Amino acid sequence: MTIRWYPGHMSKALEKMSEAIRKIDVVIEVLDARLPFSSSNHQLRDIRRNKPCIKLLNKHDLADPAVTKAWIRDFEKEEGVYALPISAKQHSETKQLIKLCQRLAPNRGRPGWPLRAMVFGIPNVGKSTLINTLAGRNMAKVGDKPAITTCNQQIDLRNGIILSDTPGVLWPDMADQDVAYRLATSGAIGASALDYTCVGLFAAEFMMRRYPQILGDRYKLDCMPETPTALLEAIGRRLGCLVSGGGIDVHRAAEAFLRELRAGKIGRVSLETPEDVVGITADEIKPDEEELPHTCDGE
């Protein structure tokens, strides 16, 4: 199955963001620490101009710590870019963001001269949670489904900083289906645009290859199944995803597996490393008319 998902409001949002960036002092891009490349909108590099950019690796408590450190080193090779691991729900961690913004715009943040920061991020990456934590009150809608925020809004943090919240925006085309499937695995893609069995098989194959130990520990596997399909069946058996006659409902098993993976119940997992995406550029993430879609045979 080929994954395509780009709600109509996102195209207009990018246009408005490109215009608004002129009055912004600091750009904050919220990324999913488990997939920092795939959860980045690579169009933002063009529209942020020369503004200082803070890449927040949110949900770092769900990601592999060693891989997160590698991503921070990789991001900070780019001039004007600063990377910070964070859990958007933790007020103590978001304080680091405030201090970094103030350091990057030292002449702003006083009466009459507020520090203006714009928050970017793909759907369901934690932008609204971050803003609510920074504001100390519920200013932005939060949900476990993507595309909750659909319009721009200004939030005064009452500390000299004004945040501009933006709708979650994916790039228009996801021709790199590995990127699309990593996004779907993380929960960033709307449920209507994906097949849970296909995504579950993709995630199962990845976990068998990268994190077999924690996978075996979580589901008490004596030995690793030979195929992703067999793994989902074993997980389904363990979680009670059965049909009449004692068979396994693989679709339900895939849904349950993805829920546990997204919630960190299996362990701290990163879905990509800098080495996985080396050589991939924004120009290469374009539709290919001859592209072959992912299959879901699991073999």
d(CA 237, CA 206): 20
**Burial class of residue 8, CB neighbours in 10 A (0-12, 13-18, 19+):** exposed
CATH of the domain at 275: 1.10.1580.10
Q: Are residues 67 and 190 in the same domain?
A: no
d(CA 268, CA 67): 10
d(CA 261, CA 254): 10
Tens digits of pLDDT across the chain (299 residues): 776 655 555 566 677 777 788 889 999 999 999 999 999 887 777 787 789 999 999 999 999 999 999 999 999 999 999 999 999 999 989 999 999 999 999 999 888 899 999 998 887 889 889 999 998 876 654 444 434 444 467 899 989 999 988 766 655 456 688 988 999 999 988 787 789 999 999 999 999 999 999 999 999 999 999 999 999 999 999 999 999 888 999 999 999 999 999 999 999 999 999 999 876 544 443 333 333 335 565 44
What's the confidence (pLDDT) of residue 225? 96
Q: How many structural domains comprise the chain?
A: 2
> What Å distances lie between residue 202 and 29, 181, 216, 232, CA to CA?
27, 7, 17, 11
Domain stops at, among 142, 165, 188? 165
| Coil/strand/helix, residue 86 | strand
In a domain, 160, yes or no: yes
In a domain, 295, yes or no: no
Q: Are residues 217 and 191 in the same domain?
A: yes
What's the confidence (pLDDT) of residue 285? 38
| Strand blocks (E) in the chain | 26-32, 53-58, 81-86, 115-121, 153-156, 161-165
What's the confidence (pLDDT) of residue 188? 85
Q: Are residues 203 and 276 in the same domain?
A: yes
User: What is the DSSP code (8-state) at residue 272?
Assistant: -
User: What is the DSSP code (8-state) at residue 170?
Assistant: -
Q: Tokens at residue 231, please?
A: 């793994």
What's the confidence (pLDDT) of residue 150? 42
Which amino acid appears at position 12 of this protein? K
* 71 Cβ contact list (under 8 Å, min separation 6): 33, 36, 57, 83, 273, 274
Give the relative orientation of helices 196-210 and 250-263 as an angle to the nearest 10 degrees.
Answer: 60
> What Å distances lie between residue 268 and 169, 171, 180, CA to CA?
26, 27, 21
Q: Tokens at residue 46, please?
A: 């063009």
* 223 Cβ contact list (under 8 Å, min separation 6): none
What's the confidence (pLDDT) of residue 171? 59
d(CA 265, CA 287): 35
In a domain, 2, yes or no: no
Through-space distance between the first and last CA atoms of the chain, rounded to whole angstroms: 15
CATH of the domain at 99: 3.40.50.300
Alpha-carbon dihedral angle through residues 274, 79, 88, 161, given to the nearest 10 degrees: -170
d(CA 292, CA 102): 47
Range of the domain at 224: 177-284
